[in-house]
Chain A
Amino acid sequence: MNKPDPKMVPMREQDPSERRNNFKEVPYGYSLDEAICEAKRCLQCKKPLCIDGCPVGIDIPGFIDLIAKGDLKGSIKKMKETNSLPAICGRVCPQEEQCQKVCILSKMGEPVGIGRLERFIADWEAEQTNREAPRKVASSGKKVAVVGGGPAGLTVAGELAKLGHKVKIFEALHKMGGVLIYGIPEFRLPKKVVEREVEYIKSLGVEVVTSFVVGKLETVDELLNEFDAVFIGSGAGLPWFMDLPGENSNGIYSANEYLTRVNLMKAYKFPEYDTPIIKGKHVAVIGGGNVAMDSVRTALRLGAEEARIIYRRSRKEMPAREEEIHHAEEEGVIFEFLTLPIAYHADEKGWVKDMECLRMDLGEPDTSGRRRPVPIEGSNFKLPVDLVVVAIGNSPNPLIPSTTSGLEIGRKGNIVVDTDTGKTSKKGVFAGGDIATGAATVILAMGAGKAAALAIDQYLETGKW
């Protein structure tokens, strides 16, 4: 066997100067030839480390081998044995931290582009007009309610349906997808891809109800009268603010509001769509995660002259995916590292006009293992801004924890679960995703959904808790 190319087959992308003016997806995806070429780089390890690196345990060498052999139908089938949402995972998973990180090829160059191949095979299937209908499974006669139509809920629903259980998803918003539809921008995850994956879950027999707020319209306790088990995947939808002076001035958004207006409500198409958005010329986004990157890149696309990331640590500590940071840099985002906002000042009409910041130094490592940022005394400076997006994180949404009896709640408002099974302290009730872990990633939520599905199946079969 020839030594594989140390470099991944590059993926063509929209030019940065072009794409910073539109909401179209940034990477174009592989062609068939590119995909086969990349698939052939996989060494087909006897003990594949990549599978262990994947929260949902995809047979990675298996699906890649089938691409290399040109058996695309076989490849997607193999994929869907373990992953119901590959077009989404292929785009938004932090592969470089998971499967690709442990790929043996990274020792001699770049790892196999697992995420890119995953995306390729999912998109290939979507283009087929005669998509294979999912196999109908014999009904178990058991009913499961899933609270929340985001990544955790969709995964658990898909897995349970494949096992023959009757599943109904209750979603609070008017569209399915949770953070995939309201949070992640079009240029990173086109909404039609999410809609396609939701349709697939429905084709497995899953019923979905939108505009249904569990905890208000019906409580989890009431759902238990009708369903044999309930899975709570209601997410971390309670945005944090910093409680700074002037933070409620006009022109200061939470990232959730900013992204929801743009993505779910399509405010970037205002007035064709009716929801407005305030477009800044001098924009500051507070935070260093993926949500901050999504917000700042959105601000550019809405016409910002200057869009800044304000982050209190250094580039090294930034929690965002390397690829997202890189994309933002290419598009011209300005990074203010080691910078902490301490106050906002508004004009006489109540609109934010500048923010006061402090420069920081990195001190000793804190409990997270990252060096703690320490303010430099007297380093105050003012930054003129007309739009600020606060993207420093979210708490678990308290609606369900506060309306469900006998549910153990953690210090941070999360639902306490057994991490292997998603079991809560309440019989028949499982939970997973951000409501259990606090704000995390799409794939971790899917991993939790997958683990919970197995545990729910077992509970439904045996009745044992």
Chain B
Amino acid sequence: MKIIVKESIAKDLTKFVIQSPLIAKKALPGQFVVLMVNEAGERIPLTIVDVDKEKGLITIIFQEVGYTTKLLGKLAVGDSLYSLVGPLGKPTEIKNYGKVIVVGGGVGIAELLPVVKAFKKAGCEISSILGGRTEKLVILRDQVKEFSDQLYITTDDGSLGEKGLVIDPLKRLLSESSDWGLVFCVGPVVMMKAVSDLTRGYKIETIVCLNAIMIDGTGMCGGCRVTVNNKTKFTCVDGPDFDGHKVDFNELMTRQKRFLQHEDKSMCKLNKQINNE
């Protein structure tokens, strides 16, 4: 559970390489860990971005958005996490889907990387679309490119690639060809919804990787429930990958906002701690 490498990969985006031989040995693309920073901390899920089985290392990348992720970002090389459990969740189903479009946004690009690698290894032909608000937030471009046959980049401000949203190149790809075997998307909920809404019309199988609020990550608490095909599913054990055409994204967006008020209080506490230092 010791942090071996700490790297800032963009503003508020941090990469940790953590010692965990057992998890490294077992982790498959699409799986995640649940970790705690300290004894009083929250349990939060984070995707396993990379593994080094030989050295017994796993990589996570997180966005310092809320209290717990900011606290996590304060840890240094040599520090240990309070707890780390995994690999959890069902691995992404890897097979040769033929021509595949993968779409990643923000920190979701990090979660996309292991899937892109595995798809390539399985023989897929991959068109990758990466998006972010600005150039610096389109992370891991070279790594994704390495496993992609085509790479398209969009930024909100036009600082890199084309100005606009990931939806724009996706629309073009879908209209240019009709033999796509799969669209795989991971990013903000609103992006996964937009992508799924678009591909639904084209009847192309679309998998989204959901990042719901969780506690235990083993199916025990039911906090990460999401409605898929009008049935309640638990993201932690039934997912995190789901058929994007069947997910109730509106409900998911509402549920992701449950603790916003609490988050303000936590941030207030964090600011006090920083001021006292």
Chain A residues packing against B (C-beta within 8 Å): 172-174, 182, 210-213, 216-218, 237-239, 241, 243, 247-251, 253-254, 256-257, 260-261, 265-266, 270-276, 278, 349-350, 397-399
Pair A248/B227 contact, Cβ less than 8 Å? yes
Within B252-270, the residues touching A (CB, 8 Å) are: 254-255, 257-259, 262-263, 265-266, 268-269
Instruction: Check A274 against B83 for contact (C-beta < 8 Å).
Output: no
Which residues of chain B from 219 to 277 have any CB-CB distance to chain A below 8 Å in the complex? 219-223, 225-227, 231-232, 237, 251, 254-255, 257-259, 262-263, 265-266, 268-269
**Residue numbers in B under 8 Å from A271 (CB-CB):** 262, 265-266, 268-269
A256 contact set on B, CB distance < 8 A: 220-222
Give chain A residues whose Cβ lies under 8 Å from the Cβ of B9.
Answer: none
A-facing residues in B181-234 (Cβ within 8 Å):
215-216, 218-223, 225-227, 231-232
A397 in contact with B23 (CB, 8 Å): no
Report if A261-B215 is in contact (Cβ < 8 Å); known contacts: A248-B232, A349-B254.
yes
Chain A residue numbers with a CB within 8 Å of B237 are 398-399
List of B residues within 8 angstroms of A237 by Cβ: 216, 218-220
Known: A250-B254, A273-B40, A276-B259. A213 touches B232 (CB 8 A): no
Q: 6 tightest A-B contacts by CB?
A: A276-B262, A350-B254, A237-B220, A254-B222, A174-B83, A257-B221
In whole Å, how far is A210's beta carbon from the nearest beta carbon of chain B?
7
Query: Are the C-beta atoms of A274 and B222 separated by less than 8 Å?
Result: no
Chain A residue contacts of B220, Cβ below 8 A: 182, 237-239, 256, 260, 397
What distance in Å separates the Cβ of B145 from its nearest Cβ neighbour in chain A?
32
Q: In whole Å, how far is B151's beta carbon from the nearest beta carbon of chain A?
A: 33
Residues of B within 8 A of A265 (CB): 42-43, 215
Residues of B within 8 A of A (CB): 22-23, 26, 36, 40-43, 67-68, 71, 82-88, 215-216, 218-223, 225-227, 231-232, 237, 251, 254-255, 257-259, 262-263, 265-266, 268-269
- B265:A254 contact, CB within 8 angstroms: no
Assembled-state Cα–Cα distance A432/B41 (Å): 32
- Contact partner of B85 (CB less than 8 A), chosen from A174, A254, A272, A273, is A174
Q: Which residue of A lies closest to B37 (CB)?
A: A274
CB–CB B42/A274 < 8 A = yes
A248→B251 contact, CB < 8 A: yes
Contacts A216-B88, A247-B232; A399 near B257 (Cβ below 8 A)? no
Which residue of chain B is the closest to A173 with respect to CB atoms? Answer: B216
**A211 touching B87, Cβ below 8 Å:** no
Residues of B within 8 A of A399 (CB): 218-219, 237
Shortest CB distance B38–A (Å): 8
Residues B40 and A266 in contact, CB atoms below 8 Å apart = yes
Q: How far is the CA of A74 from the CA of B265 in the complex (A)?
A: 52
Given A247-B232, A265-B42, A274-B41, A217:B259 Cβ within 8 A: no
